Amino acid sequence: MPESKKNVLDVVIGYQEAVKVKEELAKTGSDFSDQKWATANTIAKLHPKRLTLEVSEVIDETESTKTFRLVSTGGPLPPFQAGQYINLFVEIDGVQTARPYAISSSPAQRDYYDLTVKRVQDGFVTHYLLDHVKQGQQFLSTSPMGTFYHNPIFHGQDLVFLAGGSGIAPAMSMLKNVFDNGLAHQFHFIYASSYIEDVIFIEELRELAQNHDNFKLTEVISRPPEGYQGITGRLNADLIKELVGEVHNKTFYVCGPTPFNENCQTQLDSLDVESRFVRIEANGPPKNPDQLNHWPDSASMEDEVTITITGKGSFKAKAGEPLLNSLERNGYSAENACRSGECSLCRVKLVSGNVFNPPEAHLRVSDKQFGWIHSCVAFPTEDIEILL
């Protein structure tokens, strides 16, 4: 060590004591300081920040849904828990953005991840994926993330999954996990769709239900064709009770469009299902934030506001568009994963002005105190300045 650095360290309070402790530990072979970062490096290898994935197959599921089978172009795919998602990065007409998609394949194999994507009316990325993506195309994504999965210690073995539309994707992975690993769970899958043509994976689900005593499938169609003999209508407390029987001590997973999730929460509340037995997956920013409590009376979704990024520039945006989306549209980027207010990765600091934070923003008290916002679910209801 150069003499000058040694002199500096010598005057640091506690340095000499630390050297002595290190010498003592070395004598007994318990000095592991050389292995500093070893754990972090191993984790980073198993769970890299970015994956490069290639589309090996595009599978048509229904008129509005395709499954994209993705393989890794380097190294093995990281392990995941059934129910987790990856955030898929895309570039569309020069705009760099991303959307999270649940992995619908089984965690018991890691040759590929399947993403099952349903077209969203007035959507952006779903139109691109369903209309333009072909075999051989490559994408960057995050590693698998999220907390919407079965934890055998807390969630028991009696599971009910309420899914709407593309909410079937994480359910499929959980279901395959049960069968591929021979788990003893009871799995009741209640799948609500608007039209019978929209029901995804139906043949596979019916076959699984026929072959496994521990799997029960209930299809519910809200807009049935004439003469349809199955269960119809919207999921309500009476129907859930009738289908499930005793609701207590069962864990309910809920995944679908936001109105579906909200309705299921209300129905389960009215059945007195304790919140620790209800797990609801996030589903992006609210579509109509102006319908939510505390949206300011003075603001409308179509209001044009100015977004200034300190030291970088400014642009015009609509109050009703999530800040992260308008940033990306204008060539700026913030790290992101859940795009639903949960993971905190897209935090930016609000320097001036106000944004509307919906309940899913999950801001901490300290975020509010120091002006941090989750840009994926923040709506700029007036001119704002942010640090990025």
Q: With the C-alpha atoms ordered 156, 161, 167, 172, is the resulting torsion angle positive or negative?
A: positive
- Kindly tell me which residue out of 329, 347, 349, 362 binds ligand FAD, with binding defined by CB under 6 A: 329
Q: Which of ligand FAD, ligand FES, none binds 192 (CB below 5-8 Å, type-dependent)?
A: none
Q: Cα(134)–Cα(19) distance, rounded to whole angstroms?
A: 60
DSSP of 85-147, one letter per residue? EEEEEEEETTEEEEEEEEB-S-TT--S-EEEEEE--TT-SHHHHHHHH--TT-EEEEPPPB-S
Structure tokens at 95: 């705009």
Measured at CB, which residue is nearest to ligand FAD?
123
**Closest Cα to residue 201, out of 174, 172, 170?**
172
CB of 131 to ligand FAD, least distance (A): 11
CA distance 336 to 86: 11
Nearer to ligand FAD, 239 or 332 (CB): 332
Query: Minimal distance in Å, beta carbon 368 to ligand FES?
Result: 15
Q: Check residue 323 for interaction with ligand FAD (CB under 6 A).
A: no
- What is the Cα–Cα distance from 304 to 207, expressed in whole angstroms? 52
Rounded to a whole number of angstroms, the minimum distance from the CB of residue 225 to ligand FAD is 24
Please report how close the Cβ of residue 188 comes to ligand FAD at its closest, in angstroms. 21
Query: Do the strands 138-141 and 158-164 form a parallel or antiparallel pair, or are they unpaired?
Result: unpaired
Nearest to 355 by CA among 345, 365, 363, 366: 363
Q: Which is nearer to ligand FES, 328 or 342 (CB)?
A: 342
Nearer to ligand FAD, 267 or 325 (CB): 325
Residue closer to ligand FES by CB (options 170, 341) is 341
For ligand FAD, the binding residue among 53, 55, 86, 102 (CB under 6 A) is 102
Closer residue to ligand FAD (CB): 168 or 244: 168
What is the x/- site pattern for ligand FAD, positions 12-31, by CB under 6 A?
--------------------
Q: What angle do CA 155, 343, 82 make, to 5 degrees?
A: 40
Q: Which does 336 bind (CB under 5 to 8 A by kind): ligand FAD, ligand FES, none?
A: ligand FES
* Chain positions contacting ligand FES, by CB under 6 A: 336-339, 341-346, 374, 376
Locate tokens 């004591």: which residue?
17
Q: Which of 77, 169, 174, 299 binds ligand FAD (CB under 6 A)?
A: 169
Partner from ligand FES, ligand FAD, none binding residue 155, C-beta < 5-8 Å depending on class: none
Q: How far apart are CA 121 and CA 127, in angstroms?
A: 9
DSSP string, 155-205: H-SEEEEEEEGGGHHHHHHHHHHHHHTT---EEEEEEEESSGGG-TTHHHH
Residue 369: its H or E element: helix 365-370
Nearer to ligand FES, 190 or 343 (CB): 343
**Quick one: which of 81, 166, 193, 251 contacts ligand FAD (CB under 6 A)?**
166
Interface region with ligand FAD, contact rule CB under 6 A, candidates 39-47, 220-228, 305-313, 337-345:
337-345
Residue 149: CB minimum distance to ligand FES, A: 17
Q: Which residue has the tokens 């995804």?
A: 200
CB of 189 to ligand FAD, least distance (A): 15
Residues facing 87 on adjacent strands: 100
328 contact choice in ligand FES, ligand FAD, none (CB below 5 to 8 Å, kind-dependent): ligand FAD
CB of 388 to ligand FAD, least distance (A): 17
Q: Contact, 222 vs 233, CB < 8 A?
A: yes
Given candidates 340, 357, 375, 381, which one binds ligand FAD under the rule CB under 6 A?
340
Cross-strand pairs, 349: 372, 387
Instruction: Tell me which residues touch ligand FAD (CB under 6 A).
Output: 85, 95, 97, 99-102, 116-118, 120, 123-126, 146, 166, 169, 281-284, 321, 325, 328-329, 338-340
